[in-house]
Amino acid sequence: MDETQELEVRFAQLKKDLKENNLPDFRENFLEMHIYEQSQFYQTLDENERQLVYAYLSPRELAEMFDVLEEDNENIKDYLGEMRAGYASDMLAQMYTDNAVDLLNTLNKKQMGKYLSLMDAEDAAEIKELLHYEDETAGAIMTTEFVSIVANQTVRSAMYVLKRVAKEAETIYYTYVVDQDNYLVGVISLRDLLVSDDDEMIADILNDRIISVHVGDDQEDVAQTFRDYDFLALPVTDYEDHLLGIVTVDDIIDVIDDEAASDYSGLAGVNVEEVHENPVKAASKRLPWLITLLFLGMATASLINRYEELVSEASILAAFITLITGTAGNAGTQSLAVAVRRLAFNDNKAKSYLQTILSEILTGLVTGFVTGLTILAIVWVWQGNPILGFVIGMAMMCAITVANLAGSLIPMLMDKLGFDPAVASGPFITTLSDLTSVLIYFNIASLFMNYFIG
């Protein structure tokens, strides 16, 4: 029996325990599972079964499971709404603060206020503090459950503090050292605490070379710092270096997933998170892009119509329109993907702009030359007309080069204007490439018209 089948058997037994009101066995079997497996089981239940779960588990036990539930889960509002308000507020208070904030942000202000008003004042104050930070910043994803000590204490007293607060802290692998005014002055690892002499002073063994992020830093920049330094957690400070909280690697994994989905959505011109939405709502989100691209496509159609006389004189030209526009569009989309990726992972933006432009021009020339040479040979053999082959090949090379340049320049322009570069979507670049490719193609064809007709 594989793991999936074994898990299905356990889920079936848990449901049986629920229906038979077998409280001791249900609690024992449920609580011995990993919290991820608990969350998977919970999501298979109907509302009546979940009501039994609320009766069998304490708010703290349920909070551990809710810590791993994604805040973008489409049923999260229903889960909270079907609980007694007092039970739900207790559960939210028992969750890690950053995770509770994520769940509360899915609710309207009235619902949010209801749960906060039922919480202990201290718990509510911690959550309210994080709710004030701007979305997608270090402050919005940090947690305030961390371990901090002061420099003028011994390792023995630091270990006492660590043991006392470890259960509530989200991670204990790093302990942050502050002064009397809560300025961040250093960091010490759990390993260093364990191997140091009990009477040694923290000030003598701390690492004062601190890598931290500011509370207003963009979450994508925070993720980049994690990637560069391979940390499990990073301290978050205000702009005067007071320690406010920490960001942990599990939150950064979620950020990376969100940013990847956002970038892919931009490149595809559609929200990839709409998989669970009804068709009408999904269509309403896709239509603005499609209508915009429709008008841009009309410009391409009008341009082709302008060269109707040219096409009527050499009808063979019509056979290669989609070939040239399609290839150029593909090249532009490739360039766009590379440019967005390069902008996301390069701190020196000015240097990145220049490198990207030069790189894409050269790449466009090389790929355009090889592609153009290939189509020249094909057309020459197929039509027995080397001049026509030259026209198609030259148009292909120029169209690919221009598409590559557009695919890199447009996301740079978006970045300069303060927008997400991924907003320069693949469909937009493809449609724009159609327009420029047709213009290039027919202008080159008109120059050599007399050489390949008649």
Q: What is the pLDDT of residues 110-164, one digit of tens each?
A: 999 999 999 998 889 989 888 888 888 999 899 988 999 999 999 999 999 999 9
3-state SS record for 122-141 = HHHHHHHHHHCCCCCEHHHH
pLDDT of 130 reads 87
Locate 220 and state its tokens. 């994508």
Helix 426-447 and helix 321-344, axial crossing angle in degrees, nearest 10: 130
Q: Strands 233-237, 243-248: parallel, antiparallel or unpaired by DSSP?
A: antiparallel
Q: What is the pLDDT of residue 331?
A: 87
Phi, psi torsion values for 70, nearest 5 degrees: -75, 140
Query: Which pLDDT belongs to residue 422?
Result: 59
User: Looking at 273-282, 305-314, 324-333, which range is the least confident one?
Assistant: 273-282
Task: Phi first, then psi: give them for residue 132, nearest 5 degrees.
Answer: -80, -15
Homologous superfamily assigned to 148-257 = CBS-domain (3.10.580.10)
The pTM assigned to this predicted structure is 0.63
Q: 3-state DSSP call for residue 151?
A: coil
The class (CATH top level) of 3-136 is mainly alpha
Summarised one tens digit per residue, pLDDT across range 162-205 is 999 888 888 889 999 999 889 999 999 999 999 999 999 999 99
Of 330, 296, 359, 328, give the one whose Cα is nearest residue 426. Answer: 330
Q: What is the pLDDT of residues 406-429, one digit of tens each?
A: 888 887 777 777 666 655 566 777
User: Domain locations in the chain?
Assistant: 3-136, 148-257, 272-452
Lowest mean pLDDT among 87-96, 244-253, 285-294: 285-294
Second CATH level (architecture) for the domain 272-452:
Orthogonal Bundle (1.10)
Tokens 């009990």 found at:
198
- Separation CA 244–CA 265 (nearest Å): 33
Helices (H) and strands (E) counted in the chain, each on its own, are 23, 6
Nearest in space to 419 (alpha carbons), one of 428, 406, 410 = 410
Give me the percent of the chain exceeding a pLDDT of 90.
35
Q: Given a cut of 70, is residue 359 above it in pLDDT?
A: yes
In total, the chain counts a number of residues equal to 454
Task: List Cα–Cα distances, 113 to 124, 204, 414, in angstroms.
Answer: 10, 46, 38
| Sign of the CA dihedral running 67, 71, 76, 80 | positive
Q: What is the tens place of the pLDDT at every residue in 276-306?
A: 556 777 677 667 767 777 777 788 888 788 8
Distance of CA 348 to the CA centre of its chain: 21
Task: Output DSSP code: residue 69.
Answer: S
The secondary structure of residue 134, as a DSSP letter, is P
Mean pLDDT (the chain) is 84
